[in-house]
Amino acid sequence: MDASAALRLPAPVTAETLLPYSLWRVVALIDGQRTAAEVASTLGTPITNVTNALRDLERELGVTPVTPVTAPATDTSSVTLAPDDAMDLLVAITVEVMGPMGEVIVEDVIDELGEDTPFMVMAERIASELREPQRSAFIAKVRSKGLS
């Protein structure tokens, strides 16, 4: 799969479509604009996890693989995050290492520190709420984003 190609759903997916949570995380980010690399970055996961999820999605929906639409190359060397994107990224990383309870942890930390708290202060506070090996995985994922 071409990491620079915009992703499209292989078949219509509605709220009633029964899919595992791991696939819904990917499906929610497929908008015909984002590439597999962008989806992986947003989720804080390797691109192979996204491509595997797409294959699983095709199998779940009973469709044959589709060829993604090629998107123009974009420069991602200087990524800056809007405050909402930063919080979304923290939620995505925490949910990935903790499961659904990760969202609750992030919400509690936001309530405690406030929404205007700097990203790394928020990330450090979230990390302090986690136990090993989740703490190490969370820190590694934040660092892999170049945000530490």
What's the pLDDT tens digit per position in 13-44?
777 777 777 778 888 888 888 888 888 888 88
Residue-averaged pLDDT of the chain? 78
End residue of a domain, out of 70, 92, 115: 70
* 41-100 pLDDT per residue, tens: 888 888 888 888 888 888 877 765 544 444 444 444 444 556 677 788 889 999 988 888
In a domain, 78, yes or no: no
End residue of a domain, out of 43, 70, 97: 70
Q: Is 10 in the same domain as 60?
A: yes
CATH code, 48: 1.10.10
Q: Which residue spans within the chain are E strands per DSSP? A: 5-6, 69-70
Question: In sequence order, what are the residues at sequence separation of 6 or more whose Cβ sits closer than 8 angstroms to the Cβ of residue 82?
Answer: none
In a domain, 76, yes or no: no
In a domain, 75, yes or no: no
Residue 38: domain span? 5-70
Q: Is 10 left (phi over 0), alpha (psi -120 to 50) or beta?
A: alpha
Tell which residue, 25, 31, 37, has the closest CA to residue 93: 25
